[in-house]
Chains A and B, each alone.
Chain A
Amino acid sequence: MTDNTPSDPNTVVLLKNVHLTLGSEAGPVNILRGIDFEALRGETVSIVGPSGSGKTSMMMIIAGLERPTSGQILIDGREIQDLNEDSLALLRRERVGIVFQGFHLVPTMSAIENVAVPLELAGRNDAFIQAKKMLGVVGLDHRLTHYPAQLSGGEQQRVALARAFAIEPKILLADEPTGNLDGTTGEHIIEQMFKLCAEFGTTLLLITHDPDLAARCSRSVSMADGLLSEVTKSEAPTARAV
Chain B
Amino acid sequence: MSTIRLAFTYARRELRSGLKGFRIFLACLALGVAAIAGVGSLGQAIEAGLRADGKVLLGGDVSFRTTHAPVSAEQRSWIEAQSDLVSATVEMRANAFAVAKDTRRLVELKAVDDAYPLFGSVELSGEQNLDVTISNIDGVWGAAAHPGLTERLGIAIGDKVRVGDLTLEIRSLIVKEPDKGTQAFNFGPRLLIALPALAETNLVKPGSVIRYFYRTDLPEATSPATLRQAALEAFPNAGWRIQDLENAAPNIQRFVDRVGSFMTIVGLTALLVGGVGVGNAVRTFLQSKIGTIATLKCIGAPASLIFYTYLIQVGIIALLGIAIGLIIGVLAPLAALGSFGDSLPVEGQFAVYWEPIAIAVAFGILVTLVFSLWPLARAKTIPGIALFRDLVAPVSGFPGWKAFLGISALAITLAGLAVFTSSQPHLAVRFVLGSIATLVAFWGIAALVIRGSKMLPRSRRASVRLAITNLHRPGAATVGVVMSLGMGLTVLVAVAMLEDNLNNEVSYALRGEAPGYYFIDLQNDQVQTFQDIAANADYAVRTEIVPMLRGRITSLKGVPVSDITPPAEDAWILRGDRGLTWTAGPPNSADSIVRGDWWPEDYSGPQLVSFDAEAAAAFNLEIGDKIEVNILGRTIEATIANWRQIDWNDLGINFVMVFSPGALQNAPMSHIATAYLDEENELTLEDAVVRTLPNVSAIRVKEVLGEVQVILTKIATAVRIIAIVAVIAGVLVLAGAIAAGQKGRIYDSIVLKVLGATRKDLVFAYGLEYGVLGIVTSFIAIILGGGAAWFVITRVMEAQWSVSAMPVIATVVPALLVTVGAGMIGTWAALNKKAAPLLRNE
Within 8 A of A (CB), among B377-419: 388-389, 391-393
Contact B392 A149 (CB under 8 A): yes
Flag whether A93 is at the interface (Cβ < 8 A).
Answer: yes
- Give the most central of B748, B757, B839: most A CB within 10 Å: B839
Bound together, the chains give a CA A147 to CA B394 distance in angstroms of 12
Bound together, the chains give a CA A208 to CA B388 distance in angstroms of 29
Contact A147 B392 (CB under 8 A): yes
Q: CB < 8 Å: which of B391, B476, B758, B836 contacts A89?
A: B758
Contact B755 A121 (CB under 8 A): yes
Q: CB < 8 Å: which of A92, A128, A150 contacts B755?
A: A92
Q: CB < 8 Å: which of A89, A91, A147 contacts B757?
A: A89
Bound together, the chains give a CA A179 to CA B841 distance in angstroms of 9
Flag whether A85 is at the interface (Cβ < 8 A).
Answer: yes
Distance in Å: Cβ of A133 to nearest Cβ of chain B = 17
What residues of chain A lie closer than 8 Å to B475, measured between beta carbons?
108
Flag whether A101 is at the interface (Cβ < 8 A).
Answer: yes
Q: Mark A132-151, 1 if CB is under 8 A from B, else 0.
A: 00000000000000011110
Q: Mark A188-226, 1 if CB is under 8 A from B, else 0.
A: 000000000000000000000000000000000000000
Within 8 A of B (CB), among A105-126: 105-109, 113, 117-118, 120-123, 125
Flag whether B751 is at the interface (Cβ < 8 A).
Answer: yes
Contact A117 B839 (CB under 8 A): no
Binds A, one of B19-27, B458-466, B630-638: B458-466
Tell whether A125 pairs with B473 under 8 Å between CB atoms, given A65-B835, A65-B839, A104-B839: no
What residues of chain A lie closer than 8 Å to B761, measured between beta carbons?
121
Contact B836 A60 (CB under 8 A): yes
Contact B754 A92 (CB under 8 A): yes
Flag whether A86 is at the interface (Cβ < 8 A).
Answer: yes
What residues of chain A lie closer than 8 Å to B839, measured between beta carbons?
60, 65, 100, 102, 104
Contact A108 B392 (CB under 8 A): yes
What residues of chain B lie closer than 8 Å to A91, measured between beta carbons?
756
What count of chain B residues pass the 8 Å CB interface test?
A: 37
Q: Mark B171-194, 1 if CB is under 8 A from A, else 0.
A: 000000000000000000000000
Q: CB < 8 Å: which of A56, A102, A120, A147 contacts B474?
A: A147
Flag whether A163 is at the interface (Cβ < 8 A).
Answer: yes
Residue of A nearest to B459 (CB): A120
Contact A85 B754 (CB under 8 A): no
Residue of B nearest to A109 (CB): B473
Contact A86 B758 (CB under 8 A): yes
Distance in Å: Cβ of A83 to nearest Cβ of chain B = 12
Flag whether A90 is at the interface (Cβ < 8 A).
Answer: yes
Q: How large is the interface on A (under 10, 10 to 19, 20 to 34, 35 or more residues)?
A: 35 or more
- Give the most central of B392, B458, B759: most A CB within 10 Å: B392
Within 8 A of B (CB), among A126-180: 128, 147-150, 163, 175-176, 179
Contact B841 A101 (CB under 8 A): yes
Tell whether A100 pairs with B841 under 8 Å between CB atoms, given A108-B475, A149-B389, A150-B392: yes
Q: Mark A7-48, 1 if CB is under 8 A from B, else 0.
A: 000000000000000000000000000000000000000000
Q: CB < 8 Å: which of B388, B391, B465, B841 contacts A176?
A: B841
Residue of B nearest to A175 (CB): B841
Contact B760 A86 (CB under 8 A): yes
What residues of chain A lie closer than 8 Å to B474, measured between beta carbons?
108, 147
Contact A65 B755 (CB under 8 A): no
Residue of A nearest to B831 (CB): A85
Flag whether B150 is at the interface (Cβ < 8 A).
Answer: no
Contact B473 A108 (CB under 8 A): yes
Contact B460 A121 (CB under 8 A): no
Bound together, the chains give a CA A162 to CA B755 distance in angstroms of 12
Residue of A nearest to B758 (CB): A86
Residue of B nearest to A207 (CB): B841
Tell whether A117 pairs with B752 under 8 Å between CB atoms, given A86-B760, A90-B758, A100-B841: yes
4 nearest A-B pairs in the assembled complex, by CB-CB distance: A93-B756, A120-B462, A147-B392, A86-B758
Of the A-B pairs whose beta carbons lie under 8 Å apart in the complex, a sample of 28, sorted by A's number, is A60-B836, A65-B754, A65-B835, A65-B839, A66-B834, A86-B758, A89-B757, A90-B756, A92-B754, A92-B755, A93-B756, A102-B842, A107-B744, A108-B392, A109-B469, A113-B469, A117-B757, A118-B755, A123-B461, A125-B460, A128-B458, A147-B393, A148-B392, A149-B389, A149-B391, A163-B755, A176-B841, A179-B841
Q: A108-B473, A117-B757 are in contact. List 18 more A-B contacts (CB 8 A).
A: A85-B753, A89-B753, A92-B754, A92-B756, A98-B754, A102-B839, A102-B841, A106-B752, A108-B474, A117-B755, A121-B752, A122-B756, A123-B462, A125-B460, A147-B389, A147-B392, A149-B388, A149-B392
